[in-house]
Structure 1
Amino acid sequence: MQGRLDAGAVVPSVSTPVEAFRRTDLDRDWLSDVLRKGARRLLYVGHVSGAPVEGGQSEDGTLHLCCDPGTADLADPVRGHRPLSAKDLLLGTLPLRADGEPGAGLWPAPPRVALIGCESGGDLRFAESFGLATAMIHNGAELVTATRWVLPTNFAFHQLAGLPKSVRPLTEAIVAVDTAHEDPDPVERLGRWQRDRLDRWRAGGGIEHSPLLWAAIPSIVV
Structure 2
Amino acid sequence: MGHGDAPVVLVRAADAGPTYLSWMWMDMPNVPHAIRLDSETLFAAVSLLDSALIAPLLLEDSSTGIESKESAATRALRSGAFATLEGERRLAALLAEAVLPEALRRQLGERFDAQGIIHVRITPSPRIARVPWELLFVDTYRRLLDIAVVTFDPPATVHAHRSVLPPHWDDVHHLPPLHIVDPLLPASAIDHGFRQTLAGLSKNALLDGISDEIAATGGIDVSAGVPRKFDRVALSEALKTGRSRMLYFGHVSARPDEPGSASIHLFDTAGGRTSDNAMWGMAAVVRPPMDSGEMVPIREGYHLPLCALDFLLGTQQCSDEKVWRRYGSKRRNYGHEIWPIPCRVALIACEGGVDFRSAETFGLVVALLDSGASLVTTTRWTLPTDNAFHRIGGVRRSVLPTVDLALSVDRAHNQANPVEAVAEWQRSRLREWESSSGELAYSPIVWASLTHTVADARPAEPIAK
TM-score range, shorter chain: 0.7 to 0.9
The residue aligned with 1:60 is 261
Q: Which of 286, 292, 299 is residue 78 of structure 1 equivalent to?
A: 286
Q: Is the 8 A contact 1:9 1:34 kept in 2?
A: no
Q: Is the 8 A contact 2:179 2:247 kept in 1?
A: no
Separation of aligned partners in 2, 1:160 and 1:21: 31
Q: Is the 8 A contact 2:179 2:248 kept in 1?
A: no
Query: Once the 2 structures are TM-superposed, how far is the Cα of residue 83 of structure 1 from its aligned partner?
Result: 1.1
Going from structure 1 to structure 2, the CA distance change for 1:143 and 1:118 (only over 3 Å counts) comes to same
Deviations 1:108-134 (A, max 9, x none): 110111011311012100111111111
Q: Is the 8 A contact 1:194 1:215 kept in 2?
A: yes
Separation of aligned partners in 2, 1:11 and 1:86: 19
The residue aligned with 1:181 is 413
Q: Which structure 1 residue ranges, 4+ long, deviate > 4 Å from structure 2?
A: 8-12, 16-22
Going from structure 1 to structure 2, the CA distance change for 1:61 and 1:103 (only over 3 Å counts) comes to same
The residue aligned with 2:236 is 32
Q: Is the 8 A contact 2:316 2:333 kept in 1?
A: yes
Provide the secondary structure at the position in 2 that maps to 1:218.
strand
Q: Is the 8 A contact 2:342 2:372 kept in 1?
A: yes
Matches within 5 A, 1:107-186: 107-186=339-418
Going from structure 1 to structure 2, the CA distance change for 1:9 and 1:179 (only over 3 Å counts) comes to closer
Separation of aligned partners in 1, 2:358 and 2:179: 34
Query: Once the 2 structures are TM-superposed, how far is the Cα of residue 205 of structure 1 from its aligned partner?
Result: 3.5
Separation of aligned partners in 2, 1:175 and 1:40: 17
Could you say what the CA RMSD is over the residues aligned between the two structures, in angstroms?
2.3
Deviations 1:72-131 (A, max 9, x none): 111122264211001111111101128311111111110111011311012100111111
Going from structure 1 to structure 2, the CA distance change for 1:155 and 1:218 (only over 3 Å counts) comes to same
Q: Is the 8 A contact 2:254 2:263 kept in 1?
A: yes
Separation of aligned partners in 2, 1:210 and 1:11: 26
What's the % identity of the aligned pairs? Answer: 40
Query: Once the 2 structures are TM-superposed, how far is the Cα of residue 22 of structure 1 from its aligned partner?
Result: 8.4
Q: Is the 8 A contact 2:178 2:243 kept in 1?
A: no
Q: Is the 8 A contact 1:115 1:147 kept in 2?
A: yes
1:217 is the counterpart of 2:450: yes
Separation of aligned partners in 1, 2:240 and 2:227: 25
Deviations 1:147-176 (A, max 9, x none): 111111001111110111111100000000
Going from structure 1 to structure 2, the CA distance change for 1:134 and 1:10 (only over 3 Å counts) comes to closer
The residue aligned with 2:424 is 192
Query: Once the 2 structures are TM-superposed, how far is the Cα of residue 11 of structure 1 from its aligned partner?
Result: 6.5
Q: Is the 8 A contact 2:177 2:245 kept in 1?
A: no
Q: TM-score, normalised by structure 2?
A: 0.43
Deviations 1:27-80 (A, max 9, x none): 1111111112211100001111122x3xx2231011001112221111122264
Letter in 1 for 2:303: H
The residue aligned with 1:3 is none
The residue aligned with 1:208 is 441
Q: Is the 8 A contact 2:178 2:245 kept in 1?
A: no
Query: Once the 2 structures are TM-superposed, how far is the Cα of residue 138 of structure 1 from its aligned partner?
Result: 0.7
Q: Is the 8 A contact 1:145 1:220 kept in 2?
A: yes
Letter in 2 for 1:97: S
Letter in 2 for 1:96: C
Separation of aligned partners in 1, 2:450 and 2:243: 22
Query: Once the 2 structures are TM-superposed, how far is the Cα of residue 7 of structure 1 from its aligned partner?
Result: 2.6
Letter in 1 for 2:389: F
Going from structure 1 to structure 2, the CA distance change for 1:169 and 1:8 (only over 3 Å counts) comes to closer
Gaps of 5+ in 1: 1-5
Separation of aligned partners in 2, 1:209 and 1:112: 26
Separation of aligned partners in 1, 2:358 and 2:393: 32
Matches within 5 A, 1:77-96: 77-78=285-286, 80-96=302-318
1:7 is the counterpart of 2:175: yes
Going from structure 1 to structure 2, the CA distance change for 1:187 and 1:163 (only over 3 Å counts) comes to same
Separation of aligned partners in 2, 1:47 and 1:11: 14
Going from structure 1 to structure 2, the CA distance change for 1:140 and 1:47 (only over 3 Å counts) comes to same
Query: Computing the radius of gyration over CA atoms, which structure comes out larger, 1 or 2?
Result: 2
Q: Is the 8 A contact 1:9 1:37 kept in 2?
A: no
Separation of aligned partners in 2, 1:202 and 1:188: 21
